[in-house]
Amino acid sequence: MTRLWSAAVEVLQANWNGAATLPSRDQYPHQWSWDSAFISIGWARFEPARAQQELVSLFRGQWSSGRVPQIVFSADADPGSYFPGPDFWRSAAVAEAPLAPTSGIVQPPVHARAVLTAYLADAGSQRSREFLASMYPRLRSWHQYLRLCRELDGTGLASIVHPWESGLDNSPAWDHVLDSQDYPAGEQFVRRDLTHVSTGNRPTDEDYRAYVALAREYRDAGYSDKALPDHRFVVEDPLFNAVFLDAELCCASIAELLGLHREPHLARARQLHEAMMSHLWDEAAGSFRARDARTGDRSTVDTIGALIPLLDPWLSAEVAGKVEALALSADFAGGCEYPMPSTALTSPEFDRVRYWRGPTWVNTNWLLWTAAIEAGCAELANRIAESSVRLVEASGFREYFDPLTGTGLGADRFSWTAALTLDFLSADQAPSSLRSRLGIAGVVEGTG
Ligand code: 2M8
């Protein structure tokens, strides 16, 4: 066992609160949705039972509509340690919410991949089979929520209704939507995120004014998705929808393992493929771009989100080739020592230290690495795995990193950075790819 491995294990153990793993004890003292999925992939590498417990614990927060909330609040945390907390979201006032206090928005649906990984890490045991059988209906209900409540304009794509739902909070991919509107000051609030991290590395006050106004409007409409056509932020995001497509493929594999029908999941994954090609692929730009569902306008910026659709097994060789070329170009891997930057290096919006506007993040590296392995892009996969490990060796398990110098930024001892490092370090024992489990060939010539 290497020093790096032991250090990563130690971070996860220190951030475990008895039922779940906190993303960071100081900065994020509750359970976050997609963090938990990534974190469980790390636990699966050395303690599969804990990986499964992490996911079961997250789904305690699932609403009766199927919605899996972005945050499940921890009773142990100091109520003033994170904003917006349970007093802001007021989930107790919503009939479909569970007993555990939660926020009312969602995050990308990485959970089916995490459930499959946590099962495969201990596939022989009775406990694992029970885990898989109990999680499958919860995943189905989560995906059904996204299909029934978040497909708003007949495109077949799931919409996000808040920048926090993307997981890439202040990405320039939605500047064109946010900048076209005014946000009332509303009730006063105190930002807690600047207590431990410097102002220049976090979203701006202006960003926060928009985030709080949009969250308040959604909350005050009772988190009703029927009201969304009037909502001011409704965006179809390539990363969110590519992860959703991948999640349906994972559900197809889970259904097969449980002796159930995989076809409905494959059909839904295929529909997402068609919808992404029709609405998010920008032929002129040769790239996937986020789309404002109310106006149809697409973003003009290339971000890390443009690359994650490589997860789609039905991309034509031409489209997959363009995505791979962009990933390896001077805009991303070819232009810096520590890829993958969250915004194209040559974009005027690129900011090397400000949160999701430029820095390298280990979770998006892991998603693209997974996609590159699935798509057979060995050069890209190797480059990402090698540079991610080099980055944490040099700077520790930080939340994000300057892609030019590798300097660590944001929270320290950050859980998904530690967890996914364990996965990069165990790549030689990876279970067979999803495409080969499902018998779906890699990139298919002529479709798309
Ligand atoms: C960041 O987002 C939260 C809001 O959800 C915040 O800034 O307070 C993002 O990086 C998000 O992707 C992540 O899940 C969360 C916790 O790590 O932090």
CA angle 300, 303, 309 (to 5 degrees): 100
Q: Which atom of ligand 1 is nearest to the CA of 164?
A: 5
Whether 187 is a known active-site residue: answer no
- Tokens representing 21 are 């793993």
Give dist(CA 137, CA 330) in Å, integer.
Answer: 44
For residue 101 and ligand 1, the question of a CB distance below 6 A is answered with no
Ligand 1 mutation pick, 24, 25, 27, 28, max ligand atoms within 8 A of CB: 28
Q: Which atom of ligand 1 is nearest to the CA of 363?
A: 12
Q: Residue 67 Cα, ligand 1 centroid: separation in angstroms?
A: 18
**Which run of H or E residues covers position 71?**
strand 71-72
Q: List the one residue out of 31, 109, 43 whose CA is nearest residue 308.
A: 109
For residue 355 and ligand 1, the question of a CB distance below 6 A is answered with no
What's the pLDDT at 432? 83
**Which run of H or E residues covers position 368?**
helix 362-375
CB neighbour list of residue 382: distance below 8 Å, 6 or more residues apart: none
Look at ligand 1, atom 13, and give the residue with the nearest C-alpha.
167
Q: Are 360 and 366 in contact (CB under 8 A)?
A: no
Question: How far, in whole angstroms, is CA 316 from its chain's centroid?
Answer: 24
Look at ligand 1, atom 3, and give the residue with the nearest C-alpha.
164
Q: Residue 214 Cα, ligand 1 centroid: separation in angstroms?
A: 16
What's the pLDDT at 429? 82
Look at ligand 1, atom 8, and give the residue with the nearest C-alpha.
193
SS3 of residue 160 by DSSP? strand
Give dist(CA 382, CA 388) in Å, integer.
Answer: 10
CB neighbour list of residue 68: distance below 8 Å, 6 or more residues apart: 33, 58, 59, 61, 62, 106, 107, 109, 111, 142, 145
For residue 193 and ligand 1, the question of a CB distance below 6 A is answered with yes
What's the pLDDT at 322? 98
For residue 35 and ligand 1, the question of a CB distance below 6 A is answered with yes
Q: Residue 52 Cα, ligand 1 centroid: separation in angstroms?
A: 22
Ligand 1 mutation pick, 21, 32, 88, 106, max ligand atoms within 8 A of CB: 32
Q: List the one residue out of 162, 120, 115 whose CA is nearest residue 139.
A: 115
Question: How far, in whole angstroms, is CA 124 from its chain's centroid?
Answer: 29
For residue 169 and ligand 1, the question of a CB distance below 6 A is answered with yes
Q: Are 216 and 186 in contact (CB under 8 A)?
A: yes
Q: Are 437 and 117 in contact (CB under 8 A)?
A: no
Q: Which atom of ligand 1 is nearest to the CA of 166?
A: 12
SS3 of residue 28 by DSSP? strand
Q: Which atom of ligand 1 is nearest to the CA of 355?
A: 10
For residue 167 and ligand 1, the question of a CB distance below 6 A is answered with yes
* Residues pairing with 32 in the sheet: 71
CA angle 303, 308, 309 (to 5 degrees): 115
CA atoms in the 13 A half-sphere facing the CB of 221: 17
Give dist(CA 237, CA 288) in Å, integer.
Answer: 9
Amino acid at 13: Q
Is the backbone peptide bond immediately before 135 cis, with ω within 30 degrees of 0?
Answer: no
Catalytic one of 399, 402, 412, 423: 399
Whether 399 is a known active-site residue: answer yes
The residue whose two tokens read 């999701």 is 356
Torsion angle, CA of 109/110/116/120, rounded to 10 degrees? Answer: -170
Catalytic one of 54, 151, 165, 169: 169
Question: Where do the H-state alpha helices sit in 151-230?
Answer: 163-166, 175-178, 205-220
Q: Using CB atoms within 10 Å of the CB of residue 283, give its burial: 0 to 12 exposed, 13 to 18 middle, 19+ buried.
A: exposed
DSSP E strand boundaries for 302-437: 400-401, 408-409
Give dist(CA 161, CA 153) in Å, integer.
Answer: 13
Torsion angle, CA of 206/362/243/67, rounded to 10 degrees? Answer: -60
Ligand 1 mutation pick, 39, 169, 399, 414, max ligand atoms within 8 A of CB: 169
- Distance linking the first and last C-alpha atoms of the chain: 44
For residue 28 and ligand 1, the question of a CB distance below 6 A is answered with yes
For the full predicted model, state whether its pTM sits above 0.95: yes
Give dist(CA 279, CA 214) in Å, integer.
Answer: 24
Write out the chain's pLDDT in tens, 448 residues: 799 999 999 999 999 999 999 999 999 999 999 999 999 999 999 999 999 999 999 999 999 999 999 999 999 999 889 999 999 999 999 999 999 999 999 999 999 999 999 999 999 999 999 999 999 999 999 999 999 999 988 899 999 999 999 999 999 999 999 998 999 877 789 999 999 999 999 999 999 999 999 999 999 999 999 888 789 999 999 999 999 999 999 999 999 999 999 999 999 999 999 999 999 999 999 999 999 999 999 999 999 999 999 999 999 999 999 999 999 999 999 999 999 999 999 999 999 999 999 999 999 999 999 999 999 999 999 999 999 999 999 999 999 999 999 999 999 999 999 999 999 999 988 778 999 999 997 544 444 3
Q: List the one residue out of 89, 38, 64 whose CA is nearest residue 144.
A: 64
Is the backbone peptide bond immediately before 84 cis, with ω within 30 degrees of 0?
Answer: yes
Q: Residue 91 Cα, ligand 1 centroid: separation in angstroms?
A: 19
